[in-house]
Amino acid sequence: MSKQLDIITWDTDSVNLYADQVREFFGDEVEIRTYSVQAGTIDQIAPADVYLVSTCAFSDRDITQLLPSQGKVVISEVYITQESLYRLLAVPRNTRALLVNINQPMATETIALLNQLGATNIQFVPYYPGAPEPPRLSCAVTTGERRYVPDWVEEVIDLGPRLLSGNTFIELAFHLKCEHILDQPHFQAYLSSLAKHSYSIERMFHRSIQVESLFDLFQQALDAGVIGVDSDGTIFACNPKAEEILDIPVHQLLDHPSQESLSMLPFGECFANRKAIQARLVEINGSAVNVSLQPVFRSGRLMGAFCILQRFHDEEKRQQKMRRQILGKGHTTKYTFDSIVGQSQPILTAKALARKMAASSAAILISGESGTGKELFAHAIHAASARRKEPFVAINCAAIPDSLLESQLFGYEEGSFTGAKKGGHMGFFEAARSGTLFLDEIEAMSPMLQVKLLRVLQEKEIVRLGGVDVIPVDVRIIAATNEDLPAIVRQGGFRRDLFYRLSVLPLQLPPLRERGQDVQLLLERIKEGLGASFSLSPAAIQVLMAHRWDGNVRELRNCVEYLAYLDKPIIQPEDLPPTIFSSTEPGSFSPAPDPGEPCAGDVTGQAMAQLRRAAGSDLPAYAFILSELCLSSSMGRKALAARAAERGIPMTEQTARTALLRLEELGLVEVRRGRGGSRPTSLGRAISMRLKQTPSF
């Protein structure tokens, strides 16, 4: 639930400006209401969690009588930008100028602020609407109130609106429970743009109990080591993070000279040059640490310095966490090797090989028919690898148009094309940094993107669309295809060099039809997941085991869902879905029955009716042929005629040949040419079972 913040100032422009600044950093986490004396809403203040109050708004009234609740009160502190301060400092000394603002309290407050910032080279004369006639000075200084400057002033220095200070934002973050905003890069940039306030520096060194707590909060929000030294170089502050990075107990640092205890940190250089040191990489205890030093001045006197320490690895992890938050997706693995069901030798061999591949960071190419579990294996490999705690990002190359896939993979900079998001967009390579990127249906990737992917694999770096900065990426690639990729390479449809880059570790997954009893294991697991309670008759099991399962596990799941919806305790062959008998076998047959046909209640019934009409008086011979083929799986017409003679069934080779051709037309038999013999289809097996259960033909 978002917090409520009421902002109260004297004038409307200021209250709107402060509201915009707060929204920029706090976003939707805070609901804002604004009130101003100028708008006449000062007596309508509603209860809030926190009140941000400008002192000039209550110059002649009791603040406690106007605020309706016990919410925390933060008095706004305002700064000007560093650039504006430089403009003032460039004015010749002893210059007299009007300081123009909207009323007397704000004019006086602004003069005090500028003097504290060191702009003592100008003698300010306050001026505001209703003020006594001022001296006719040629120069005027204002903070966004140019409209009140007299017409006869020759030079106007407009410093722009005064901005909320860093201390104000820290207090707001503390009371609104939004401390994380202090760690945002654009908030740090905002702080850097403000002029340094000598009064706030004095409070940092001689702080009260309240500011001590705020300073501690600021250290925690940075998630970095903070070390403070005074003007003599003696250490007076060291937070727990700095103690951890340095691996030195805090009691061995406090009140000790920094040059002796922390000789690896450039405090001496910072003091000698009286300049900040930004982003210097220092090795501490074998780790790369990013070091920044900021000297602190008061009225030109060096008061000391602060040092910020951050391990490079910690910064990488922090950025990775932010990337995940920006994308708003949980890029994590869902499956492990325990999720892969099967006891057949082909699947056990594939799992064992995949486990070994997980120990490497080399690229993997998983091949297999649709529905064999390629993404399942990719998840399991990542979960068993050293990258298991890092992101797992999956993308289907065939599901995204080429024009969009490039920007999704590599990201883009702001303004790189029409419709690009403000601030740009992070791609999946950046999102998967330190983790695994799974590229499914890799064969669908365009030649242009194949070239870019090849470069990423070679150089381990990317460049965003429309950008120039090189971004290093440590990503493990797992690609997958359900096509014959080597054949596509030979035909020129896929780059040969990229194929070899991707298939450093090739993994071929077996189709379901080669996994034997795994069909029943998978069926029971799927049935359990659906909460179904049906059982399969032996005949139904025989039909399912003989099915080719060209759709593999995905087709099996569809079949189980179909059977679950039938709500039958025992499933017979005729209850199986029509696709089992029609869609996957060569010469499949599912014609519409003749009107009034009594056996047209299901696919098997339809086929039975057609068989009766086609066989006529030879139906016993047809039934015998189906039965024999089901027993032997493959048999020629000579063997069928000989077997029929043994059983006393009249059948010549020509009769057998004619019967086989008719059965093939009906989709009950697959006739192989030459010496291959013939074998029954799934539908043929179901018909044979029904014929055996029929007392008389």
Which pLDDT tens digit goes with each residue over 39-91?
Answer: 888 888 888 889 998 877 666 666 667 788 778 888 888 888 888 888 999 99
Work out the average pLDDT over 327-353: 85
Alpha carbon distance 662, 654 (integer Å): 12
Half-sphere exposure of residue 463, counting CA atoms within 13 Å on the CB side? Answer: 9
CB atoms within 10 A of CB 146: 13
Residues 6 or more apart whose Cβ sits within 8 Å of residue 34 = 6, 7, 8, 15, 16, 19, 41
Q: What is the pLDDT of residues 195-230, one digit of tens each?
A: 754 434 334 433 443 445 455 555 555 667 889 899
Work out the average pLDDT over 560-580: 87
CB atoms within 10 A of CB 222: 16
Judge contact between 572 and 560, C-beta under 8 A: no
Alpha carbon distance 321, 98 (integer Å): 50
In what order do the strands lie in the sheet containing 287-298? 235-238, 225-230, 301-311, 287-298, 277-284
Alpha carbon distance 631, 624 (integer Å): 11
- Helix (H) or strand (E) holding 287, with range, is strand 287-298
Q: Which spans in 250-371 are helix H? A: 258-261, 267-273, 312-327, 345-358
What six digits make up the tokens of 217?
């909060």
Residues 6 or more apart whose Cβ sits within 8 Å of residue 333 = 379, 380, 382, 383, 388, 392
Residue 161 in this model has a pLDDT that exceeds 50: yes
Residue 218 is predicted with a pLDDT of 59
Residue 187 CA, chain-centre distance (Å), reads 23
Judge contact between 502 and 494, C-beta under 8 A: no
Q: What is the pLDDT of residues 254-309, one digit of tens each?
A: 889 998 889 889 999 999 999 998 878 888 888 888 889 999 988 788 889 999 88
Work out the average pLDDT over 166-178: 85
Buried b (16+ CB within 10 A) or exposed e, 354-393: beebbeeeebbbbbbbebbbbbbbbbbbbbbbebbebbbb
- Predicted confidence band of residue 31 (pLDDT cuts 50, 70, 90): very high
Q: What is the pLDDT of residues 533-568, one digit of tens each?
A: 899 988 888 888 888 898 899 999 999 998 998 888
Backbone torsions φ then ψ of 381, nearest 5 degrees: -65, -45
Backbone torsions φ then ψ of 85, nearest 5 degrees: -65, -40
Task: Return the percentage of the chain with pLDDT > 90, whole number.
Answer: 29
Work out the average pLDDT over 345-354: 94
Query: Per mean pLDDT, which range of 168-182, 573-587, 616-630 is the poorest?
Result: 573-587
Determine how β-strand 287-298 pairs with β-strand 277-284.
antiparallel
Query: Per mean pLDDT, which range of 145-149, 298-302, 615-619 is the poorest?
Result: 615-619
Alpha carbon distance 601, 543 (integer Å): 19
Work out the average pLDDT over 595-605: 47
Judge contact between 649 and 621, C-beta under 8 A: yes
Round to the nearest angstrom and report the end-to-end CA distance of the chain: 76
Nearest one of 155, 162, 148, 80 to 119, comparing CA atoms:
80
Residue 285 is predicted with a pLDDT of 85
Alpha carbon distance 149, 133 (integer Å): 12
What six digits make up the tokens of 536?
């399969």
Residue 192 is predicted with a pLDDT of 80
Residue 154 is predicted with a pLDDT of 93
Residue 14 CA, chain-centre distance (Å), reads 38
Task: Output the CA–CA distances (angstroms, integers) from residue 295 to 477, 505, 547, in the order listed.
Answer: 46, 54, 78
Judge contact between 611 and 688, C-beta under 8 A: no
CB atoms within 10 A of CB 346: 17
Residue 648 in this model has a pLDDT that exceeds 90: no
Q: What is the pLDDT of residues 230-245, one digit of tens each?
A: 988 999 888 888 888 8
Alpha carbon distance 671, 656 (integer Å): 12
Judge contact between 437 and 430, C-beta under 8 A: no
Query: Per mean pLDDT, which range of 480-489, 490-499, 668-677 is the poorest?
Result: 668-677
Query: Per mean pLDDT, which range of 105-109, 313-317, 499-503 is the poorest?
Result: 313-317
Residue 321 in this model has a pLDDT that exceeds 80: no
Alpha carbon distance 697, 417 (integer Å): 74
Residue 496 in this model has a pLDDT that exceeds 90: yes
3-state secondary structure of 53: strand
Residues 6 or more apart whose Cβ sits within 8 Å of residue 487 = none
Task: Return the percentage of the chain with pLDDT > 70, whole number.
Answer: 85
Backbone torsions φ then ψ of 109, nearest 5 degrees: -65, -40
Tell which phi-psi region holds residue 54, choosing left (phi > 0), alpha (psi between -120 and 50) or beta: beta
Residue 403 CA, chain-centre distance (Å), reads 21
Helix/strand number for the chain, H first, E second: 28, 26
Residue 653 in this model has a pLDDT that exceeds 70: yes
Residue 590 in this model has a pLDDT that exceeds 60: no
As a residue count, the chain comes to: 697
Alpha carbon distance 656, 644 (integer Å): 10
Residue 451 in this model has a pLDDT that exceeds 70: yes
Residue 602 is predicted with a pLDDT of 53
Residue 583 is predicted with a pLDDT of 42
Residue 582 in this model has a pLDDT that exceeds 60: no
Residues paired with 226 in a beta bridge: 308
Q: Look over the chain and give the mean of its residue pLDDT values, rounded to a whole number.
A: 82
Alpha carbon distance 167, 593 (integer Å): 85
Task: Output the CA–CA distances (angstroms, integers) from residue 647 to 426, 640, 643, 691, in the order listed.
Answer: 75, 11, 7, 18
Residue 40 is predicted with a pLDDT of 86
Work out the average pLDDT over 514-532: 91
Buried b (16+ CB within 10 A) or exposed e, 256-282: bebeebbeebbbeebbeeeeebeeeee
Half-sphere exposure of residue 437, counting CA atoms within 13 Å on the CB side? Answer: 25
Determine how β-strand 78-79 pairs with β-strand 163-164.
antiparallel
Residue 159 in this model has a pLDDT that exceeds 80: yes
Alpha carbon distance 65, 97 (integer Å): 38
Residue 203 is predicted with a pLDDT of 40
Query: Per mean pLDDT, which range of 115-124, 325-334, 491-500 is the poorest?
Result: 325-334
Q: 462 or 647: whose pLDDT is higher?
A: 462
Which of 217-226, 362-371, 429-438, 645-654 has the largest mean confidence? Answer: 362-371
